[in-house]
Every structure is written in structure tokens, then in C-alpha cells.
Amino acid sequence: MIQIFDHGAVRELRLDRPPANALSPELIAALRAAVESAPGAGAKALVISGAPGRFSGGLDVPLLVQLDRPAIADTWRSFYGLLRALAASPIPVVAAITGHSPAGGAVISIFCDARFMADGEFRIGLNEVQVGIPMPPVIYHALRRLVGAGQAERLCVTSQLVLPDEALEIGLVDEIVEPEGLITRAIEWCNAVLALPPLAMAQTRRLARADLVSLFASSAETEAELGVLLDQWFSAETQGSLRALVERLAKRKG
């Protein structure tokens, strides 16, 4: 589910779960393992990419809606673990957003160091509310850190998905790149950062990202947050919205 390409000191982790790179428990676990193992394998920076036109479609709702509470608890705990691994990574991580990136796809990019998005009619944003999932606090605070309180409120409450130009304007992405040059640009950014004095860069990067890592500082608070999230996930409203989404997706395929 993860293709690995080494570009010198920069390792590319390419999501490979067709057709939409939807986040299943297995893909979440595989990406977390790849992020955490990369420094030990000699990588100095990471690029997370996807298929042309599709970075990630977010959580695999048709799969997850079939799971019981313990399995959903494990999935969300693993997803939080992935986000923490990105936030606390000792090496820089860049999201090369190769296409559509709703919900979980956008979330992954928010926890990276930088975000480069392919130019085109692609949408990115956090549409959890639209499918009946209240915004998890850890994710909301990370988004607010990136785009500011006003834009975070607008994006989350309205579930709006935006095109690359607007994403750039509000700070949700850092640069728009022609699709064929996206990976190259992400690698260039990594190499430019790696060319800086390494100790000064690493210490300053840790300082700059400490507030992001601190969102996961208390395991008790994280577990409490997950408990609330699980209660919401299995509420009648959320289950109804999720199952309605699954029906719409099935009709599209039909």
C-alpha cells in the first residue's frame, strides 16, 4: 500500500491503494510505520505523495462503517498515532498533494512541514461535518495553527472543499505546482532545507513544531478525546450520515 522511492537523501512514500487511496486501517498503519522507520533507514527527509489526480480520498467510510466499536477505536487510535508521527518526525516531511485531498487526505498534509499541491481542478479541505463526523479537536487545533482561527472555523463548520488557488491564498498549501513537476519541487524543497547547517535547522525545527507535538502530549487527554469521538461516531446522526454517504458512493459506482 506504500511505494518507496529514494531520491538521494529524500525518501518518497507514495500512497498506493487504488482507486482513491482511501485510508483503511492497513494503509494508516503502513504509512505510520514507513514514516517512523525512515530515519533509521538513512532518509534525511520525506515526501508523501499519491496517485496523479488523487492524493487521498480520506477515511474509507464504506469499510469503516462495517466495523464494531473496538475496531473503530483501534483505527482512530492508529490514525492519531500517524498524525503524531508526522508532527514529531525528526526529519522534515513534505506533502506532495497530487490531486483531490478531502478530509483525511487534507489532515495528513496539515501535520507535515510543507504542502505543495498539483495545479488543476482538485479540491482540498476538511468535510468531516458534511458526512456527519464532528471535527476532532486535535485536527481542528492543527488546522487553526496553519490557517488561523477564522479560516479554520469557516473550513470546518461549512465543510468547504477549495481549489488550489484558494488553498494557497488562505495558507492551506504553500505552493501550487504543475502536476508533472510536483514531486521534483517537493524534493527540491527538502534538499534546500537539508543544505542548511543541520544542527541549527533541526533544533529550530523542533522549537517551531513543539506546539504541534504538544497536542499529543497527554495520553490521558488523547484517550478522553478518542472516547468522545467514538461516542459521536456511533451516534444515530453520524451513523445515518455515514450510511447515506456509502449509499451515494455505491450508486455512483453502479
Mean of pLDDT over the chain: 95
pLDDT at 221 exceeding the cut of 90: no
Give the mean pLDDT of 90-105.
97
Residue 211 lies in a domain: no
pLDDT digits (tens, 9 = 90+) for 150-182: 999 999 999 999 999 999 999 999 999 999 999
Dist. CA 121–CA 73, nearest whole Å: 35
Q: What's the pLDDT score for residue 215?
A: 93
Whether residue 124 is contained in a domain is answered as yes
* Most confident of the ranges 122-131, 132-141, 171-180, 217-226: 171-180
Q: For residue 237, is it within any domain?
A: no
Distance CA 17, CA 1 (A): 5
Query: What's the full length of the chain, in residues?
Result: 254
Using the structure block, give the residue that is written with the C-alpha cell 472516547.
227
* pLDDT on residue 250: 87
Owner of C-alpha cell 466495523: 67
CA dist 147 and 142 (Å) reads 9
What is the pTM assigned to this prediction?
0.95
What is the share, in percent, of the chain residues with pLDDT greater than 70? 100
Domains in the chain: how many in total?
A: 1
pLDDT exceeds 80 at position 254: no
Label the pairing between strands 45-49 and 93-97. parallel
Q: Give the pLDDT of residue 155.
A: 97
Residue 82 lies in a domain: yes
Which three cell numbers, joined as nine digits, stand for 79? 490514525
How many angstroms separate the CA atoms of 73 and 226, rounded?
7
Q: Using 50, 70 and 90 to split pLDDT, how confident is the model at 184?
A: very high
Is residue 54 assigned to a domain?
yes
Q: What percent of the chain has pLDDT over 90?
A: 91
Confidence at residue 5, expressed as pLDDT on a 0 to 100 scale: 98
Residue 220 covered by a domain: no
Range of the domain at 184: 2-194
Q: Does 250 map to a domain?
A: no
Q: What average pLDDT does this structure show over 1-29?
A: 97
> What is the Cα–Cα distance from 229 to 64, expressed in whole angstroms?
14
- What average pLDDT does this structure show over 109-119? 98
CATH number of the domain residue 54 falls in: 3.90.226.10
**Cβ atoms 57, 20 nearer than 8 A:** yes
Cα gap 71→89, rounded to integer Å: 26
* Position 76 in a domain: yes
Confidence tier at 222 by pLDDT (50, 70, 90): confident
Name the nearest CA neighbour of 179 among 120, 237, 125, 129: 120
pLDDT band at 249 (very low <50, low <70, confident <90, very high): confident
Strand order from edge to edge, sheet including 175-177: 2-7, 10-15, 45-49, 93-97, 114-118, 175-177
Rounded Cα distance, 62 and 246, in Å: 5
